[in-house]
Amino acid sequence: MLNKTIAIIGAGNMGTSLIRGILNAQLTSAKKIYASGTRMEKLEKLKTEFGVHITTNNKDAAKRVDIVVLCVKAAVIRKVLEEMHDVLHKDQFIISIAAGVTTESMEKIVGKNIPIVRSMPNIASTVGLGSTAISFGKYVHEKQHDIAIKIFEAVGDVVVVGEQHLDAVTGLSGSGPAYIYMVIEALIDGGVKMGLPRDISTKLAIQTVLGSAKLVKESNVHPAILRDQVTTPGGTTINAIHELESHGLRSMLIDAVATATIRSRELSELINK
C-alpha cells in the first residue's frame, strides 16, 4: 500500500483505468483519490463506481495530493500545468502519460524543480494487461521511481527506459494494440471466408492471439522456436507461413513500428517547440 493521495487530472479512458488499477491493487483508498475533468456528469459516474472525490477544478485537486497524474491530451498539458502552477510544490511529484510531451518541457512550465515522471502506457491497461514504459526527469528521487513503477504495475507490466526511447515505445506498444486488432479482424474474416460462423471464428481468433501471447510470455521461449514447434514438415502451418512470408508480414510489422516511431518523434518536436 502506498497510502498516498493522488490526483488524476483528466479522468478519461486512461485516467479511469489507472483509478481502477490503483484501487484493485489497494495502493491507496478511494478517499485519497481526486479525479478531475471538464464534465461533471462524467465525473459523477466515477464517483458512483469508485467512490473517489471529483472536481472540475484541477488546481483544487492538485493542492490536496502527493502525486499528480496528468492524463489529459498533450494539447492541453501546458494549460493544465499553468492552471495548477501556484499550488504545485517540490514535495509532490508529477506523472504524465501524455504522448510526446518531454519531461524537460514540463519542468520548464512548472519551474520549481518538481520531480516529473513521463510514461507511455497502452490501452490494455483497461484490463490490467497494459505495457507501460516510464522514464524519469532530472529531479525524480529513487523512492519516487518505486512509487511510479508500483502505480503502473497496478495496470500491467512496466519497463524503465531512457526518455529517448519513448518514441519507439509509442511505435511498438503504445500503438501496438491497433496492429493486433487488425490481425484479429483478419483472422476472423479468414475463418468466415472458409465457412466458419462469425461468432465461432471470432472466439477462435481472439483466443488464438491471447493464448499464443501467454505461451511466449510464460515459456520464455523465443517465438521463432515456438513457431517451429508447431510447423509439421509438409503440413498446413508451413504452407500458411510461406504465404505470410511471401506477402512480407514481418517486414510490414517492422515497418509499421518504425513509421509510428518516426511520426511520434515528429509530433513530439511540434508539441515541445
Ligand X SMILES: NC(=O)c1ccc[n+]([C@@H]2O[C@H](COP(=O)([O-])OP(=O)(O)OC[C@H]3O[C@@H](n4cnc5c(N)ncnc54)[C@H](OP(=O)(O)O)[C@@H]3O)[C@@H](O)[C@H]2O)c1
**Binding residues for ligand X (CB under 6 A):** 9-15, 36-39, 42, 58, 71-74, 76, 79-80, 97-99, 120-123, 174
Q: Whose Cβ is closer to ligand X: residue 172's or residue 201's? A: 172
| Residue nearest to ligand X as judged by C-beta position | 12
How far is C-alpha 29 from the chain's CA centre?
Answer: 22
Least distance CB 244 / ligand X (angstroms): 27
Handedness of CA 40, 41, 46, 48 (dihedral sign): positive
Q: Which among 154, 128, 131 has a CA at the least distance from the CA of 69?
A: 154
Least distance CB 80 / ligand X (angstroms): 5
Least distance CB 83 / ligand X (angstroms): 7
Least distance CB 199 / ligand X (angstroms): 27
Q: Whose Cβ is closer to ligand X: residue 105's or residue 201's? A: 105
Strand ranges across the sheet with 130-136:
53-55, 33-36, 6-9, 67-70, 93-96, 116-120, 130-136, 156-160
Least distance CB 29 / ligand X (angstroms): 23
Q: Whose Cβ is closer to ligand X: residue 88's or residue 191's? A: 88
Position of cell 500491467?
156
Q: Which among 99, 98, 117, 75 has a CA at the least distance from the CA of 264?
A: 99
Residue 53, phi then psi, degrees to nearest 5: -75, 150
And the C-alpha cell for 159?
519497463
Q: Whose Cβ is closer to ligand X: residue 73's or residue 222's? A: 73
Q: Whose Cβ is closer to ligand X: residue 174's or residue 191's? A: 174
d(CA 43, CA 52): 9
What type of residue is 179? Y
Least distance CB 95 / ligand X (angstroms): 11
And the C-alpha cell for 245?
512470408
Q: Whose Cβ is closer to ligand X: residue 118's or residue 201's? A: 118
Residue 66, phi then psi, degrees to nearest 5: -85, -35
Q: Which among 130, 166, 190, 171 has a CA at the least distance from the CA of 253?
A: 171
Q: Whose Cβ is closer to ligand X: residue 185's or residue 245's? A: 185
Q: Are 134 and 149 in contact (CB under 8 A)?
A: yes
Least distance CB 179 / ligand X (angstroms): 13
Q: Whose Cβ is closer to ligand X: residue 56's or residue 229's? A: 56
User: What's 117's DSSP letter?
Assistant: E
Least distance CB 121 / ligand X (angstroms): 5
d(CA 168, CA 157): 17
